[in-house]
Amino acid sequence: MSWAFPFLYRQLFVPPPVPTKSFRHQTVIVTGANVGLGLECARHVLRLGASKVILACRNTSKGEEAATELRNSSRCAKDTIEVWQLDLSSYESVGAFARRVINLPRLDVLFANAGIHAVDFTMVEGHEATITTNVISTAYLCFLLCPTLRSTATKFGTQTNIVITSSELYRQAKFVEAQAPEGQIFATMDNGDRSLMEDRYNVSKLIEYFFVRSMAESMPLAQNKVIINCVAPGFCKSRLIREREDSLLIRMSVKALARPTEVGARTLVHAADAGPKSHGQILIDDHVQKDKDIFGGKKEREIQDRLWKELTSILEGIRAGVTKI
């Protein structure tokens, strides 16, 4: 728990600065953009001059409501904001979304922000819902959009970005499923009798971090020009914990500690401006945090490699060749 006191200090007394990076001429996708951090991230990006902002939402009617509110607050042209359907609980939806992206003239930043914090065990697309949404579909989307991000970077002589919204709760993950036999980590998480759901969100964020590290290793910047990182925005007012709002402790914690959503969203925008040093790293607020030995030396590397092998195998099962970037 050595991270707890620095976390509380930053949370209460050190808000991240307002981002100033220009997004002029850029096309940006924000997933989970109709509420919370995604909505405020989109607002920042519009303020900073983005030419096109795509709100990727599971519920497009709510997305259109968010788009109208953003147009009114930013006074941007109506066609600056588009609402596209994206449901991370459906691989078909992810694939259909990616097929639309191919037709874009450019794509500069993917803010992979959408996620869930499930309480109950449910299966979606053959895996536990949190893992399907936060890990598998998010990774699938990143792989599918990489070619467009890479071509944009090459065409315009820049570097493009994938930013995944994570959480410092990855440090609290017990991840008992990592003790499973070779090739069985995801299968163990899919077993309702053996799943530790109170740890599942933390585990999903840890796996996201390991995914970012492994994906960065698989696509060196010299060849790909796509920076991938993840960001921990702190404890923010958000709809993410809606399934736990009946908890008095959660309500009190939100009231006492939670950052305004706009403040948390600043960290996402900063991550898109963190540069090559952030490739494969996690940012705590607006600073690169090079964690080492989360589990301890060789064991950590072994777990990361096992997860990468299993995850890429799952993705190849969804679409052959998708991980060959």
Q: Report the C-alpha gap between 137 and 87 in whole angstroms.
A: 9
Range with lowest mean pLDDT among 16-20, 250-254, 307-311: 250-254
Catalytic residue among 74, 90, 137, 166: 166
Among 170-179, 231-240, 277-286, 309-318, which stretch is predicted with the lowest mean pLDDT?
Answer: 231-240
> Does residue 91 carry a catalytic annotation?
no
Which pLDDT score is estimated for 273? 96
Q: Percentage of the chain surpassing pLDDT 70?
A: 91
State the pLDDT confidence band at 193, using cuts at 50, 70 and 90: confident
Q: What is the pLDDT of residue 10?
A: 82
Torsional class of 306: left (φ above 0), alpha (ψ -120 to 50), beta (otherwise): alpha
> Does the pLDDT at position 1 exceed 70?
no
Report pLDDT digits (tens) over 84-136. 999 999 999 999 999 999 999 999 999 999 999 998 999 999 999 999 999 99
Report whether pLDDT(266) > 80.
Answer: yes
Residues contacting 107, CB < 8 A, separation 6+: 27, 29, 101, 145, 148, 149, 152, 160
> What is the fold of 4-317?
Rossmann fold (3.40.50)
Q: Which of 205, 209, 214, 278 is catalytic?
A: 205
Model confidence at 41, in pLDDT bands (50, 70, 90)? very high
Average per-residue pLDDT for the chain = 92
pLDDT band at residue 2 using 50, 70 and 90 as cut-offs: low
pLDDT band at 180 (very low <50, low <70, confident <90, very high): very high
pLDDT (tens digit per residue) in 99-112: 999 999 999 999 99
140 catalytic residue (yes or no): no
Any catalytic annotation for residue 51?
A: no
pTM, full prediction: 0.93
Where are the chain's structural domains? 4-317
* Burial of residue 309 (number of CB atoms within 10 Å: 0-12, 13-18, 19+): middle
Instruction: Quote the CA–CA distance of 42 and 19 in Å, as a whole number.
Output: 12
Which letter, b or e, does each residue of 13-37 get, where b requires 16 or more Cβ atoms within 10 Å of its Cβ?
Answer: eebbeebebebeebbbbbbbbbbbb
The catalytic position among 201, 204, 214, 225 is: 201
